[in-house]
Chain A
Amino acid sequence: MDAFLTSRNVSDVLGGLASGVIYALVALSLVLIWRSTRMLNFAQGAMAVFATYIGFAILAPSTNYWVSMAVAIVAGLVLGGATERVLVRRLYGKPEINPIVAMVGLLLVLESVAAAIWSTSSRPLATPFSIVDWQLNHKPMALSPFAVYEIVTSLVVMAIVAALFQYTKLGLQLRAAALAPEVSRLLGVRVSRMLTIGWMLSTAVGAVTAVLVASNFFTGLTPSGMDGVFAFGFIAAAIGGLDSPVGAMVSGLALGVVFQFVGDYVNSNAIILVALGMLIVSLMVRPSGVFTRSAQRRV
Chain B
Amino acid sequence: MIVVDDLSVSYGAVRALQSVSFEAPSGEITAVLGANGAGKTTLLRTISGLVAPLSGTVRKDDEVLTGRKTEDIVRLGVAHVPEGRGVIAEFTVEENLRLGFMIAQGSLPDALAEQYEMFPVLGERRRQAAATLSGGERQMLAMARALIARPSVLLLDEPSLGLAPLVTAQLMQQIRDLCAKESLTVVLVEQNASSALRIAQRAVVLRVGVVVANDSAVAVRDDENLRQYYLGMVE
Contacts and interface: CB of A to CB of B under 8 A. Distances in A.
Given A190-B71, A295-B90, A184 B99 contact: yes
Nearest to A180: B88
Given A187-B145, A189-B99, A295 B88 contact: no
Contacts of B50: 182, 185-186
Interface of B: 48, 50, 70-71, 74-75, 79-80, 82, 86, 88-91, 95, 98-100, 102-103, 129, 131-135, 145, 149
Contact of B131 (A184, A189, A296): A296
A299 B131 CA distance: 9
A295 B82 contact: no
B110 to A, nearest CB: 17
A103 to B, nearest CB: 27
Contacts of B95: 172
Contacts of A298: 131-132
Interface residues of A, number: 22
B131 A169 contact: no
B131 A187 contact: no
A172 B132 contact: no
Contacts of B88: 176, 179-180, 183
Question: Chain A: interface secondary structure?
Answer: helix
Going nearest first, the 6 A-B pairs with the smallest beta carbon separation are: A295-B131, A188-B103, A183-B86, A298-B132, A188-B74, A185-B70
A178 to B, nearest CB: 10
A297 B145 contact: no
Given A179-B90, A295-B131, A297-B132, A186 B48 contact: yes
Given A173-B99, A173-B102, A188 B91 contact: no
A191 B134 CA distance: 28
B102 A186 contact: no
B86 A180 contact: yes
Given A172-B95, A179-B88, A186-B82, A295 B129 contact: yes
Nearest to A176: B99
